[in-house]
């Protein structure tokens, strides 16, 4: 039979059963929307992490001390000695002590993240100041209460005033702002990379009551030696600590790979869960198509009596099923894209809708129509005309 005719009939049948069609579609709508949103979330997060990492300095090697498996405790002095002893591999090292603190300026009193480090951090991790200065060697040595603040803090806490030279209360202790960092993100929001305070690690150790530093960032001498430098570092740490579980060395390339592989797995997992809801949606379509075939047994009988071939009946029902799942797919895409957009806009979770997933879900939903419509359509096409005509 004429395909256009079949489409027309399918659409009028969908319209004449609006509520039922919508409920049937809902499974597909939710499934498709879920796939799109899930993948957009993972994709957005991946992009975000990758760009954060790429915005960090190059030639970066991160060392984490686990604090177990070894009786030896390495501190900042030991790390500096490693750098000095191997100038062909390393340029500098910056420690990191992280903590969550409350920061107060005037009436603004909010949580923010605190980082204690030294003067090298700025170059190793690309934390450039926009105004004022970064932490200096003297600040560290003198355990000075000075702070370099992120752009969000500067904007939000100081409300247009120049923060340089002003006081900020961090966990109850007064620090002086000596520098403002360049913005790292475009929308400069809370909990972003721009919402943070950097102070000398020596001051941070006291403030956070945390004497042991477990995280260090080394800068390799050049991109070319980065790989070798990270191997060398592992070798040195092994000889110092005596156990390879006592530390963890990771260079930037490895970190990127790790992130991408984790996100790939996440993508598959979330996509898989969303895929299951698509499957359930498909079964819903099959169910309603079977009901439709039964309800329309007499119609099928009449059509066969006046000369419809099997293929004509089959086409009619398959197209109806495709129309239902296809409309569901389109609505699902709209819901999914809107949902991703709203999530990205109103939460701090980044999202990025990928065109390939949209195309894929459109294809899948049409495919579901064919796949799950097949059995009912086939059943309809095989009805014996006389049995179908007698059906009341």
Partner 1 sequence: MTSALIRIENMYKIYKMGDSEVRALDGVNIEIHQNEFVSIMGPSGSGKSTLMNMIGCLDTPTSGKYYIDGIETSQMRDDQLADIRNRKIGFIFQSYNLLTKLTVLENVELPLIYMGKSRSERHRLAMQAIEKVGLSGREHHRPNQLSGGQQQRVAIARALANHPPLILADEPTGALDSKTGKEILEMIKEIHQSGNTVILITHDEQIAQTANRIIRIQDGKIFSDSEVGQA
> Can you give the binding site for partner 1, defined by CB under 8 A?
1-2, 5, 12-13, 16, 298-299, 301-312, 382, 384-386, 389
Q: Based on CB atoms, which residue is closest to partner 1, 27 or 376?
A: 376
CB 8 within 8 A of CB 319: no
What would the 3-class secondary structure string for 89-148 be?
CEEEEEEEEEEEEEEEECCEEEEEEEEEECCCHHHHCCCCEEEECCCCHHHHHCCCCEEE
Q: Based on CB atoms, which residue is closest to partner 1, 258 or 384?
A: 384
Q: Based on CB atoms, which residue is closest to partner 1, 6 or 40?
A: 6
Angle between helices 18-55 and 310-346 (to 10 degrees): 40
* CB 262 to partner 1: min, Å: 54
Q: What are the structure tokens assigned to 131, written together? A: 């105004």
Using the structure block, give the residue that is written with the tokens 């059963």: 17
Q: Based on CB atoms, which residue is closest to partner 1, 152 or 317?
A: 317
* CB 3 to partner 1: min, Å: 11
End-to-end CA distance of the chain: 26
Burial per residue of 251-267, b for 16 or more beta-carbon CB atoms within 10 angstroms, e otherwise: bbeebeeebeeebeebb
Q: Based on CB atoms, which residue is closest to partner 1, 2 or 107?
A: 2
Q: Based on CB atoms, which residue is closest to partner 1, 6 or 274?
A: 6
* CB 310 to partner 1: min, Å: 6
Using the structure block, give the residue that is written with the tokens 């006081």: 167
Q: Which of 124, 121, 125, 99 is nearest to 112 (CA)?
A: 99
């Amino acid at each position: 039979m004429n395909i256009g005719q079949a489409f027309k009939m399918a659409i009028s049948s969908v319209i004449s059963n609006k509520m039922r069609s919508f409920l049937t579609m809902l499974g597909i709508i939710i499934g498709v929307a879920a796939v799109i949103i899930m993948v957009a979330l993972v994709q957005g997060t991946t992009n975000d992490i990758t760009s954060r990492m790429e915005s960090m300095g190059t030639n970066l090697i991160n060392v984490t001390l686990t604090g177990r498996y070894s009786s030896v405790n390495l501190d900042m002095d030991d790390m500096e000695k490693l750098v000095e002893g191997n100038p062909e591999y390393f340029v500098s090292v910056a420690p990191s002590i992280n903590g969550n603190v409350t920061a107060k300026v005037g009436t603004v009193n909010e949580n923010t993240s605190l980082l204690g480090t030294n003067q090298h951090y700025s170059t190793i991790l690309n934390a450039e100041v926009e105004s004022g200065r970064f932490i200096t060697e003297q600040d560290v040595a003198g355990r000075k209460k000075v702070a370099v603040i992120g752009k969000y803090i500067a904007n939000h806490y100081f409300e247009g005033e120049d923060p340089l030279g002003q006081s900020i209360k961090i966990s109850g202790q007064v620090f002086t702002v000596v520098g403002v960092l360049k913005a790292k993100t475009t929308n400069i929001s809370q909990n972003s990379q721009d919402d943070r305070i950097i102070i000398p690690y020596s001051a941070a150790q006291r403030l956070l009551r945390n004497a042991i530093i477990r995280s260090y960032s080394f800068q390799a001498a050049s991109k070319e030696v980065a790989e070798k430098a990270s191997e060398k570092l592992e070798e040195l740490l092994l000889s110092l600590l005596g156990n390879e579980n006592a530390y963890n060395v990771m260079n930037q390339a490895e970190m990127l790979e790790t992130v991408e592989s984790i996100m790939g797995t996440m993508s598959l997992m979330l996509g898989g869960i969303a895929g299951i809801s698509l499957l359930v949606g498909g079964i819903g379509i099959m169910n309603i198509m079977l009901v439709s075939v039964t309800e329309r047994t007499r119609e099928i009988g009449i059509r066969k009596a006046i000369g419809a071939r099997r293929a004509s009946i089959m086409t009619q029902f398959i197209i109806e099923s495709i129309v239902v799942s296809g409309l569901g797919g389109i609505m699902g895409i709209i819901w999914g894209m809107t949902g991703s957009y709203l999530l990205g806009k109103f939460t701090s979770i980044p999202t990025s809708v990928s065109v390939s997933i949209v195309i894929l879900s459109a294809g899948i939903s049409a495919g579901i129509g064919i796949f799950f419509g097949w059995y009912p359509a086939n059943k309809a096409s095989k009805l014996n005309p006389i049995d179908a005509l007698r059906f009341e």
